[in-house]
């Protein structure tokens, strides 16, 4: 078989022409020879001076290579640098860390075994649902919950209305009723908007001036077209004015166009269903 250039035989024995195989010096330095073969190598070296010279040279070279080197002790510098970066722990501190880990593991074990115990005694405890239900059921449940919530808010608003009603009663005679739309909006219903003039009474003014309270004037006529975005078909409309302001409504057709103290068109709103 043709051998590649530069490679050597895996066999640690050199075979000379017409002679029996003998172990090579390289195989010895490769630590590939067993004690018997080493003996054979030594025999061959006794017979060949060149072989022995080669062996001695290599051995001497490798001895020099293995000769101990006086290495400087850098342990202090290393420990100092590592100590600066991550710090060293004393025996007590390491024990505390160990105890802490042990305690954490014990807690976890306790929790897991507790859960297992509960599950064993009451297998139903961890079951989310017996069977899957249709989404419509969930939606229906959500609807009823929302309705209940709104009802609760309505109750609160009614309570608020009862508190406010006496103040509204002192206002202009044309005001027929009052309602609270939400926490900061008041509604005053008037029956004849054309002649409605509402200088706010001290009592009502105080009430209206609290926070961002606005007055909503409600009239029982169709709103003019230029008061968008009001719905033209609404039978009850509302105008909101700033707190503490009085307003005049001489006629239904031109109440909002004049004067800074008139109603703010941007605040126009229609939520007739919420107004009594």
Partner 1 sequence: MNRSAERKLIEKAAAGDKSAATKLIKAHQGSLYAYILRMSGKPEMAEDIVQDAFVRVLMHLDRFDPRFRFSTWLFTIAKRLYLNANQKLKPHYDTEIVGGWDAEAQSPSAPAIRAEVETNARGCIQKALDSLSDEQREVILLFHQQNWSISAIARHLDMPEGTVKSHLHRGRQRMRRLISEDQQQSDLVAEVWS
Question: Binding to partner 1 by residue 115, rule CB under 8 A?
Answer: no
Residue pair 275/187 in contact by the 8 Å Cβ criterion = yes
Residue pair 198/220 in contact by the 8 Å Cβ criterion = no
Of 43, 8, 40, whose CA–CA distance to 26 is shortest? 8
Residues 6+ apart with CB under 8 A from 2: none
Question: Binding to partner 1 by residue 6, rule CB under 8 A?
Answer: yes
CB of 115 to partner 1, least distance (A): 31
CB of 5 to partner 1, least distance (A): 11
Task: Report how far Cα 222 is from the mean position of its chain's Cα atoms.
Answer: 51
Binding range to partner 1, per CB under 8 A, among 41-49, 92-100, 107-115, 121-129: 92-100
Binding range to partner 1, per CB under 8 A, among 23-31, 38-46, 134-142, 144-152: 23-31
Strand 196-198, strand 185-190: pairing:
unpaired
Task: Please give the torsion angle defined by the CA atoms of residues 118, 123, 124 and 129, in that order, rounded to the nearest 10 degrees.
Answer: 110
Among positions 15, 38, 42, 78, the unique one binding partner 1 when judged by CB under 8 A: 78
The three-class DSSP label of residue 57 is helix
Binding mask 56-75 for partner 1 (x = CB under 8 A): -xx--xx-xxx-xx-xxxxx
The three-class DSSP label of residue 47 is helix
Among positions 15, 42, 89, 257, the unique one binding partner 1 when judged by CB under 8 A: 89
Among positions 21, 83, 199, 231, the unique one binding partner 1 when judged by CB under 8 A: 83
Q: Give the binding site for partner 1 (CB under 8 A).
A: 6-8, 10, 26, 29-30, 54, 57-58, 61-62, 64-66, 68-69, 71-75, 77-79, 81-83, 85-89, 91, 93-94, 97-98
């Amino acid at each position: 078989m043709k051998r590649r250039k530069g490679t050597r035989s895996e066999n640690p024995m050199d075979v000379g022409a017409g002679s029996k195989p003998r172990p090579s010096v390289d195989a010895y330095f490769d630590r590939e020879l067993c004690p018997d073969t080493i003996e054979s190598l030594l025999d061959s070296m006794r017979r060949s001076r060149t072989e022995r010279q080669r062996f001695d040279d290599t051995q001497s070279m490798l001895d020099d290579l293995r000769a101990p080197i006086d290495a400087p002790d850098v342990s202090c510098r290393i420990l100092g640098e590592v100590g600066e970066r991550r710090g060293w722990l004393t025996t007590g501190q390491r024990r505390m860390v160990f105890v802490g880990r042990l305690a954490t593991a014990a807690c976890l074990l306790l929790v897991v075994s507790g859960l297992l115990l509960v599950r064993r005694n009451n297998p139903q405890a961890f079951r989310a649902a017996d069977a899957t239900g249709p989404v419509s059921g969930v939606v229906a449940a959500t609807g009823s919950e929302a309705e209940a919530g709104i009802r609760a808010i309505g109750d609160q608003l009614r309570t608020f209305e009862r508190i406010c009603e006496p103040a509204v009663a002192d206002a202009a005679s044309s005001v027929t009723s009052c309602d609270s739309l939400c926490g900061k909006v008041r509604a005053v219903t008037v029956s004849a908007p054309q002649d409605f003039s509402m200088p706010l009474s001290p009592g009502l003014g105080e009430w209206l001036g609290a926070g961002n309270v606005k007055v909503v004037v409600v009239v029982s006529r169709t709103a003019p077209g230029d008061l968008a975005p009001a719905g033209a078909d609404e039978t009850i409309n509302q105008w909101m004015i700033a707190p503490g302001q009085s307003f005049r409504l001489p006629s239904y057709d031109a109440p909002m166009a004049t004067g800074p103290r008139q109603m703010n068109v941007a605040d126009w709103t229609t939520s007739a269903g919420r107004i009594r």
